[in-house]
Structures are given as C-alpha cells and as structure tokens.
C-alpha cells in the first residue's frame, strides 16, 4: 500500500517503519478531499528535516508548496472579506486578512485537522515536538492548500479554506487573543502608503525582575500610539493596538 515510501525508510536507525508511513486514506477522509495525484499530498507533508533521511534535495520539501498555498489562501480570504464586508475600507480588510492568515490561526486550523500526526519529520524534529510546533503546522496547512489547488483547482482549494478557516471567521475576528497587532499595524500602514512603523522604548521603570516598559510607535515621524507592559514585546503590542485604534477613527 505504501510503495511510494519504500525508499524513505532509514537504514541506520531503530525508528519503526510505521513512523514513516502516514495513513493517506485517513488523512483524505479528514480533509474531505481525495487526491488524484497522491504525490502532491506527500510533498505537502514533507518537512525539510525529513529530506536528509531519504537522500532528497531541499527542493523536495513542502516549502515550494507552502509558497503557492500562501498565495491561494490570500486570494480566497481577501475575496471572502471583500464580498462579506462591502462597507469596509481597504485598510480594514487588510487588517482582517492579516489576522485570518496569521501563523497562530493557521496552526490552530492544522491542529483541528490533527495534521501534525501525518507530517514527515526527521526523528530529532519529531522527538523535539515538531508535530506540535505552530510554525511547522501553519506551513503544512498552507502547503496542503497549495497541493489541493494543484490537484483539483481553485474550486476545491476555496472549499477547503472555507470549511477549515472561514467557517469560524467571525469568532476568530472577535478573539483578540489571536491578534498580532504589530503585524496588523504594519500591513495597515503599508496599505495606506504611510511607511513602516518605528517602535521606541520611552522608559523602563522598576527592578530587573519586575520592569515596566513604556513604548511609543511612530509612523512618518509622528507618534501614533503608546503602550506599557512587563516586557518590550507586550508594550509594543499594546502600542500597536493603540495606534490602530487611533488611525481608524
């Protein structure tokens, strides 16, 4: 049944053969899509760490498929937002799109599909938790979209995105826990031809173990927001959120 993976089995390892044989039939059932060309599905599952074990070049990883899937995903999501929110301006649609295609949201969608269990990873990557790593899961989700697009066209890729991402769009947009305000501010400012935001630490107060950072963010040399937090990252996120609120008024 798995002749396509016969050459993938490592010769100098104690890892079982089963570990390198994802159940493609089961995965297809979960995805709700049956591939005509299973090689595309296999490519979408291959993390670059897996390639040295099977003596394949870097180009055989899922990274090229991920690039394609990212573009298809962007088109489908933008089209959906454009149609569903006819009163929203360009910057607002850009902000919503940024959230929906963020790594955190895509990783959650991949986890909902239990995609991690089917990935082709190196033994070390697997043992270090690669099947649960958000970056790997998000990339694999995009690669999967690319594979479906190549196998069945935009119609099937769109349906996959609608069922596995856009079906929960309202909840995702309403959940601030998913938001990366720095990324959203960057995309908004660029969409408005305002240039990139610049973050500056205005002050640090308190002892080393309990510092409070105050950060201001500037666009075109004008302060557009400020924020505080017990880390630079949190203060910057708060400043970006404040800036977005001010700019959209």
CATH code at 15? Answer: 1.10.1520.10
Same domain, 80 and 112: yes
Shared domain for 110 and 208, answered yes or no, is no
Last residue of a domain, one of 152, 176, 200: 176
The count of domains in the chain is 2
Residue pLDDT, tens place only, 81-133 = 999 999 988 878 888 898 899 888 999 999 999 999 999 998 888 888 889 99
**Which of 176, 211, 232 delimits the end of a domain?**
176
Same domain, 18 and 129: yes
- C-alpha separations of 218 from 12, 24, 194, 223 in Å: 56, 50, 11, 4
Residue 140: its pLDDT value, please?
96
Out of 158, 176, 194, pick the residue that ends a domain. 176
pLDDT category of residue 182 using cuts at 50, 70 and 90: confident
Q: Which residues, 6 or more positions from 76, have their beta carbon under 8 angstroms from its beta carbon?
A: 154, 157, 158, 161, 162, 166
- Cα 27 from Cα 39, distance rounded (Å): 14
Q: Do 89 and 199 sit in the same domain of this protein?
A: no
| 172 and 186 belong to one structural domain | no
> For the whole prediction, is pTM greater than 0.75?
no
Same domain, 188 and 220: yes
Range of the domain at 143: 3-176
Instruction: Tell me which of 24 and 20 has the higher pLDDT.
Output: 24
Q: For residues 17-39, b (16+ Cβ closer than 10 Å) or e, as one string?
A: eeebbbebeebeeebebebeeee
Q: How do residues 23-73 score in pLDDT, each as one tens digit?
A: 889 999 999 999 999 999 999 999 988 888 777 777 788 999 999 999 999
Query: 160 and 186: one domain?
Result: no
Confidence of residue 151 (pLDDT cuts 50, 70, 90): very high
CATH, residue 240 = 3.30.160.20
Distance CA 33, CA 152 (A): 9
Q: Hey, is 207 helix, strand or coil? A: coil
Residues 132 and 67 in one domain: yes
Regarding whether 132 and 188 lie in a shared domain, the answer is no
Q: Which of 57-71, 174-188, 227-241 comes out lowest in average pLDDT?
A: 174-188
Cβ–Cβ under 8 Å, residues 215 and 235:
yes
| Residues classed as catalytic | 70, 142
113 and 202 together in one domain: no
195 in the same domain as 162: no
- Banded pLDDT at 217 (limits 50, 70, 90): very high
164 and 188 belong to one structural domain: no
Give 184's Cβ-side CA count (13 Å radius): 27
């Amino acid at each position: 049944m798995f002749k396509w993976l016969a050459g993938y089995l490592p010769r100098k390892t104690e890892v079982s053969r089963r570990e390198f044989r994802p159940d493609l039939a089961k995965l297809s059932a979960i995805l709700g899509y049956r591939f005509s060309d299973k090689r595309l599905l296999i490519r979408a599952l291959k993390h670059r760490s897996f390639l040295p074990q099977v003596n394949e070049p870097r180009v055989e990883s899922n990274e090229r498929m991920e690039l394609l899937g990212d573009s298809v995903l962007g088109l489908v999501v933008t089209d959906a937002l454009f149609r569903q929110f006819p009163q929203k301006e360009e910057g607002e649609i850009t902000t919503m799109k940024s959230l929906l295609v963020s790594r955190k949201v895509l990783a959650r969608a991949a986890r909902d599909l239990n995609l991690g269990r089917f990935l082709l990873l190196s033994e070390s990557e697997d043992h270090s938790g690669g099947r649960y790593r958000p970056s790997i899961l998000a990339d694999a989700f995009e690669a999967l979209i690319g594979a479906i697009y190549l196998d069945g066209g935009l119609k099937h890729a769109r349906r996959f995105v609608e069922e596995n991402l856009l079906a929960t769009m309202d909840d995702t947009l309403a959940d601030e826990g998913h938001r990366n305000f720095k990324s959203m501010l960057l995309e908004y400012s660029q969409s408005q031809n305002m240039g990139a935001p610049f973050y500056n630490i205005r002050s640090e107060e308190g002892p080393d173990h309990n510092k409070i950072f105050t950060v201001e963010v500037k666009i075109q040399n004008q302060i557009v927001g400020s924020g505080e937090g017990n880390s630079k990252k949190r203060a910057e996120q708060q400043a970006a959120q404040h800036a977005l609120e001010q700019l959209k008024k």
